[in-house]
A and B are shown apart, each in its own frame.
Chain A
Amino acid sequence: MLRKLEPEEIAFIERINAVFLSEELDFEEAVREYRRIEEEFVERAGDNEHHVVETRRRITEWLLSEALRDEQPHEVCREIWHELLERGFSGIENRHWMSGIYARCCQMNGEFEAGLAVIEPLIAEAEQGLADPTLPPNPRAFYEQELTRDCKIRDELKAGIRG
């Protein structure tokens, strides 16, 4: 049985939405707002180290998504990506999804090699996982879906398609 979102999480998501869906803020302003949210909710997390780490990761993930949506230059995407690598991924799903988003940023900026450097190891990982006959059905389904998506991104990068 899944737990429900806690009031603290709902407050965080509402604050994020206010920035993400704002039509008034430009990218720099949005970044400042995300950082304010980070500061506030890290403080609210107090001694709960797990919540502190996860809150910081969420902020960087939102920044990368925002950078892609807002057509930011490669340097901006790369800086956020490195911050995300430092902060780490919460799980295999986030590692795949956020890597895909960074690869899309690279693609958008014509930095195809940088995108391939991120996406090709994920493809190798998925192929290796799927080659294991003992892999349970759920991770198998996950790898299958990720493999399809990552191959599509890889093919576009190799073809030099900006988008």
Chain B
Amino acid sequence: MPRVIVWIEGIVVACVTMSVVPFGCASHIESPPLKQTPTGEGPHAPNKTIARLRACVEEYGGDLGGDAFEFHYDVKVDEEGQVASVKSDVLHADFSGCTRAALRAMEVPPELFRTWMFQPLARADRQNNAARGLAGNLVIVGVTIALAPIIIKATGVTIVFMIGIAIAEEVVEAVRRRKSEKDKCTDGYVECMDSKVGDELGNNWNTSRCENCFRICQDEKSWPPRVRMWEDWVPCGRLEPTWRK
């Protein structure tokens, strides 16, 4: 039974490396940039995926014709967290097929995926994304996330798996639209509070009218023109012709 060592390097190294080694040029490296101290820090592929990659190394690693390699994988996932496609720069057909199948079967944790989806978008404006902690160890470049490298030694060969996870453009657009709908309500609330009705009473104690309008906006995903208040329908501020104070 070959001794198999799997450990994860820091994500910064991954990102820097990926930025200088383009996809599509698999390299047989003489001195792989390996750390000798295993670390469990940082997000990584699920254990099941790592185990499947390890099985590929055990089965086909000896056929690669060298003792150290660095391979790159470009993984695309859809909004539901399912892997949609996997491309690699591996030339060996069996090894390529085996490892791509392992990555295609990868299950991305939903909460982590959600964080990935929103983090780069949230950074652009508001900073209140509570899930930031989940993404603290991820490096997000645009809509591509570089996972920590996976280094597997087996059958006398060392392989560094560099995995970039990309979110499809159409998915990002959908998320942008979704986020924009949510921001519409916050923007509407701010404008309402700044309008002539900003000081108006809402339907309960400690409630402003703008708060009532905001709740409806969250339900409806658009700022309402008016709200029912004490048996009357009253404007929600910003959509009136002379809404400013």
| A contact residues around B190 at 8 Å (CB) | 21
Which B residue sits closest to A110, measured CB to CB? B110
A contact residues, range: 35 or more
Option from A5, A51, A73, A149 in Cβ contact (under 8 Å) with B220: A149
Q: Is B111 touching A30 in the complex (CB atoms < 8 A)?
A: no
The reply on B128 being an interface residue by CB < 8 A is yes
Residues on B with beta carbons closer than 8 Å to the beta carbon of A23: 126-128
**A108 to chain B: closest CB distance in Å?**
9
Q: How far is the CA of A58 from the CA of B203 in the complex (A)?
A: 11
Contact of A163 with B130 at beta-carbon distance under 8 Å, contacts A2-B230, A90-B203, A141-B228 already known: no
**Contact A54 B128, beta carbon cutoff 8 Å:** no
Tally chain B residues at the interface, Cβ within 8 Å.
44
- CB-CB under 8 A for A97 and B228, given A50-B205, A71-B131, A91-B203: no
| Stretch of B25-33, B35-43, B162-170, B208-216 lying at the A interface | B208-216
Q: Are B132 and A68 in contact (CB under 8 A)?
A: no
Tally of A-B residue pairs with Cβ under 8 A? 121
A101 touches B128 (CB 8 A): no
* Residue B176, interface by CB 8 Å: no
Q: How far is the CA of A141 from the CA of B127 in the complex (A)?
A: 39
Binding site for A on B (CB under 8 A): 79-80, 110-111, 114, 118, 126-133, 178, 181-182, 185-186, 189-190, 193, 199-201, 203-208, 211-212, 214-216, 218-220, 228-231, 233
Task: Select from chain A the residue with minimum beta-carbon distance to B179.
Answer: A71
* Known A5-B201, A5-B208: A27·B228 in contact at CB below 8 Å: no
Q: Is A69 part of the contact surface with B, judged by Cβ < 8 Å? A: yes
Contact across chains for B228 and A138 when beta carbons are under 8 A apart: yes
Contacts of A101 in B (CB 8 A): 215, 218-219
